[in-house]
Amino acid sequence: MFAVIRTGGKQYKVTNGDTIAVEKLDGALGDTIVISDILMVDSKLGAAIKSAKVMAEIVRQFRDEKVIIFKKRRRHNYRRKKGHRQYLTEIKITDIAA
C-alpha cells in the first residue's frame, strides 16, 4: 500500500517503513505525527480518501547541507555571496490508514 502526501509544499510517495526528510515539523524525537493532507492512496482519489491518514514517527531534526547563493553583475563591481541551510525533519512512516 502506498500514499502520496503533501507537506512543506512538496509531494512525497510513501509506503510503510519509508524514511524521508521533509521540511521542519514541530515535535521532539520519537513523537508520532499524523499527516492528513493525502492526495492519493493506492490509485484512489477524491472523496474516497477523505478519511485517510498517514502516521509517522520523528527520527531526527537536522539541517541540510549549505547552499551558496552568489550574485554578480559583470563590470559593475557587484558581488553578493550568501549561504543557506534548510531545517529538515527525518520521519519514518509507520502506518497508512485508508
Instruction: Order the strands of the 32-35 sheet from edge to edge.
Output: 19-23, 87-97, 53-63, 32-35
What is the reported pTM?
Answer: 0.85
What are the grid coordinates assigned to 45, written together?
482519489
DSSP reduced 3-state for 48: helix
- Give the C-alpha separation, 55 to 90, whole Å: 13
**Residue pLDDT, tens place only, 24-76:** 999 999 999 999 999 999 888 877 788 899 999 999 999 999 999 999 999 99
CA distance 70 to 83: 9
Cell of 20: 524521508
At 85, the pLDDT band (50, 70, 90 cuts) reads very high
